[in-house]
Structure 1
Amino acid sequence: MPGSRHADGRLDSRPTASPAGPPWPAGMHELDLGGGAEVLLAVPNGEPRPRPLLVFFHGAGGEPRQSIGAVGAAAAERGVLVLAPRSGAATWDLVAGRLGRDVAVLDAALAEVGRHAAVSRCAVGGFSDGASYALSLGPANGDLFDAVLAFSPGFAHPPAAIGRPRIRITHGTDDRVLPVDRCGRRLAAAFDGSGHEVTYEEFDGGHVVRPGDVVASLGWWLDAG
């Protein structure tokens, strides 16, 4: 059951560079968390070593394989682990009204990853409702996530402010689902005003995740400093 910290949007698990259990081989792994939770982990090719971990949230009505399809190829090229959970309802718990279940599932998934995969750093991202969720959980867990990659977000309601993760937002100027003027532009200005380092980019297009933007966002995250 979700604990009080999960209702506050806080994550306790901290994957490290020294997992306790045997390493998972390259490929797609379905985590066995029980309770009907569906979470996938994509492990890149190569010998086990500490790798960056990207948590990626799908859009409303989506599922983990869509998340892997959106970012998996570019992540694999950069040697990034991708953790893709599924929302417990049609969309994420915060969007539906209250934090809890989805935060608890993510916390359990991160703990499982930490037992079998060496992790060097963590970021969180997502598309549409998933991007809104990332922009809400990321700033509440800035002691875990050093960056947020948001593709076409609609809103952000961080339940807390822990640290200052860097934020990158991309949004299509022809987005008819979440219009850029009251979503991407407004969010970029709000996070900039609250002291976050914000990179904001618009593109000619609609409500989509473009492969080139994924490559650019991963580079922005991984190559910083």
Structure 2
Amino acid sequence: MSDSAPSRWDPAPSPRDGRLTARRHPPGTPGRTGLAPMTGPDGARLALRYAPEPPTDGSAYRLVLLLHGAGGSARQGLDLLLPVADAQRLLLVAPDSSAASWDLIAGGFGADVGRIDLLLATVFDTYPVADVTVGGFSDGASYALSLGLTNGDLIDSVLAFSPGFAAPPATHGRPRIFISHGVDDRVLPIDVCSRRLVPHLHDLGYDVTYEEFPGGHDIPAVIRESATAWLTARPPPAGDHG
């Protein structure tokens, strides 16, 4: 069964500022496990969601919002961490961008912010969530950084695989950040992307873990493993449902 529109959601006053209004709260109707589409009020698919079996110790999930690269799909976003979702009890939500890439890439926050806010509110209504991560690859990584820095009062960590930039209109909170980049990347060259971005984030006081690897515009298995270990190094507190 598809997930549908949430019972509690107030649209952001202006999606252009990139602010998310959805907040964690004890869930109402229990959500189903497994892979399922998430749909909007009109029935159109907005995302894919994967929910592992609930943690046996009664603790809440870590929610990971996963953003595909330009021209990609929700499935490609989901696949970034799907292989480790069961073992790490990660609740994955992978939106489709409203256009070929994310709104910020085309000139500024907008439709995708509203879509993501709706998806988050749906998840919070149906699953116990302790922590929220946003991650992505390529354009999705740039968007994850920008959205995460803008909403660090909700999002506690960011995974950015081969990002091009970060452009938050304003910053809130201090999410921890993992960035990886291939030294031979021809799509988003490392010298003008991560090697400039990471020092800037350090200067601003962010906790950044940065890994370079031999290769191009890709996510090698060793980087996925490293990112997963980094993400799960601080497990969600048991029973904290927001």
Moved more, 213-222 or 80-89: 213-222
Report deviation, 1:115. Answer: 1.1
What residue is the counterpart of 2:6 in the other structure? none
- Could you tell me which amino acid in structure 2 is paired with residue 42 of structure 1? Y
What residue is the counterpart of 2:173 in the other structure? 163
CA distance in 1, matches of 2:126, 2:11: 23
CA distance in 1, matches of 2:69, 2:124: 26
Q: Structure 1 residues 165 and 202 mapped into 2: Cα distance closer, same or farther (>3 Å)?
A: same
- Could you tell me which amino acid in structure 2 is paired with residue 64 of structure 1? A
Matches within 5 A, 1:57-136: 57-136=67-146
- The yes-or-no answer on 1:31 pairing with 2:35 is no
- The yes-or-no answer on 1:19 pairing with 2:41 is no
Q: Please, which of 11, 17, 22 is the counterpart of residue 8 of structure 1? A: 17
CA distance in 2, matches of 1:85, 1:34: 15
CA distance in 2, matches of 1:2, 1:20: 20
Report deviation, 1:25. Answer: 2.4
CA distance in 2, matches of 1:70, 1:220: 15
CA distance in 2, matches of 1:208, 1:24: 33
Which stretches in structure 2 are left out of the alignment for 5+ residues?
1-9, 236-242
Q: Please, which of 178, 200, 209 is the counterpart of residue 199 of structure 1? A: 209
Three-state SS of the structure 1 residue aligned to 2:80 is helix
- Could you tell me which amino acid in structure 1 is paired with residue 108 of structure 2? R
Moved more, 129-138 or 71-80: 71-80
1:143-180: per-residue Cα shift (whole Å, max 9, x none)? 11111100000011011110111111000001000001
Contact residue 139 and residue 165 of structure 1 kept, 8 A: yes
Report deviation, 1:198. Answer: 0.8
Which stretches in structure 1 are left out of the alignment for 5+ residues?
none
- Could you tell me which amino acid in structure 2 is paired with residue 197 of structure 1? D
Three-state SS of the structure 1 residue aligned to 2:105 is helix
What residue is the counterpart of 1:42 in the other structure? 50
Three-state SS of the structure 1 residue aligned to 2:171 is coil
- Could you tell me which amino acid in structure 1 is paired with residue 148 of structure 2? G
Report deviation, 1:47. Answer: 5.6
TM-score, with length taken from structure 2: 0.87
Q: Structure 1 residues 75 and 47 mapped into 2: Cα distance closer, same or farther (>3 Å)?
A: closer
1:97-154: per-residue Cα shift (whole Å, max 9, x none)? 1211000000000011011111110111100000000010001100111111000000
Equivalent pairs counted in the alignment come to 223
Three-state SS of the structure 2 residue aligned to 1:112 is helix
Identity of aligned residues (%): 45
Q: Structure 1 residues 107 and 119 mapped into 2: Cα distance closer, same or farther (>3 Å)?
A: same
